[in-house]
Amino acid sequence: MINRLVFEEINYTNVPQKLLNIMKDIKYDNETNIEKYIVKTPNQLIKIKKGICYDQVGFEREYFEKHDYQLKTFFAYEKEPVDDNPTHTFLIFKENNKYFWFENAWESYRGIHGPFKSYDDALNFVSIQLKNSEHWKNINILEYNKIKLGINVMQFYKHIFKNDNI
């Protein structure tokens, strides 16, 4: 459950922009030891104001769900092993029968992108952006369901790749 202060004034107008304003203070955690990393809960993220994309998407998902938005969360990873094996999680939400990519963790693309005609169109756009960055060559993207936060990265991966319910 997200800190009540963040949701104290639940107002259903301009929800994506309000979330973007909340997220502007959340910075990417570049000092992560991925083997030991624990995915932050929304309350931890708001308190620390620093997290990786897994943390940020977990918070964003909860925020959009509290405002009754339809959304999907995705996990992108490099199919071919490379030096740093990049991964990225992101969220696409639906508003007024249009689809938007909400991004905060990938700083070069921070913002609300769209509208797109479908989830597939939005996914294609994100995929192109990933391929255009220097770290991605052969991308695979999986949709994943809401997961329990406060888990370690290996449990997060297990949930996504094996469809475990954590």
pLDDT in tens, 102-130: 999 999 999 999 999 999 999 999 999 99
Distance of alpha carbon 42 from alpha carbon 3, whole angstroms: 8
pLDDT in tens, 50-102: 999 999 999 999 999 999 999 999 999 988 766 667 889 999 999 999 999 99
Asked whether 94 and 61 are in contact (CB, 8 A), the reply is no
Q: Is this structure's pTM higher than 0.85? A: yes
In the numeric block, the tokens 């921070």 are attached to 110
* pLDDT of amino acid 12: 57
What b/e sequence results for 81-103 when a residue is b if at least 16 CB atoms lie within 10 Å of its CB, and e otherwise?
Answer: eeeeebbbbbbbbbbeeebbbbb
Tokens at 83, concatenated = 């030096």
Residues, the chain: 166
What pLDDT does residue 80 have?
74
Q: What is the side-by-side strand order in the sheet with 139-144? A: 111-116, 98-103, 87-95, 70-78, 139-144
pLDDT per residue as tens digits for the range 23-58: 999 999 877 677 788 999 999 999 999 999 999 999
With 80 as the cut, is the pLDDT of residue 15 above it?
A: yes
Structural domains of the chain in order of their starting residue, each with its CATH number? 13-162 (3.10.620)
The pLDDT of residue 11 is 57
pLDDT of residue 165: 47
Question: Which of helix, strand or coil describes residue 44?
Answer: helix
Contact in structure between 49 and 26 (CB atoms under 8 Å): yes
Spatial contact of 15 and 68, defined as CB atoms under 8 Å apart: no
Given a cut of 70, whether residue 5 has pLDDT beyond it is no
pLDDT of residue 13: 74
Is omega for the bond preceding 81 within 30 degrees of 0, making it cis? no
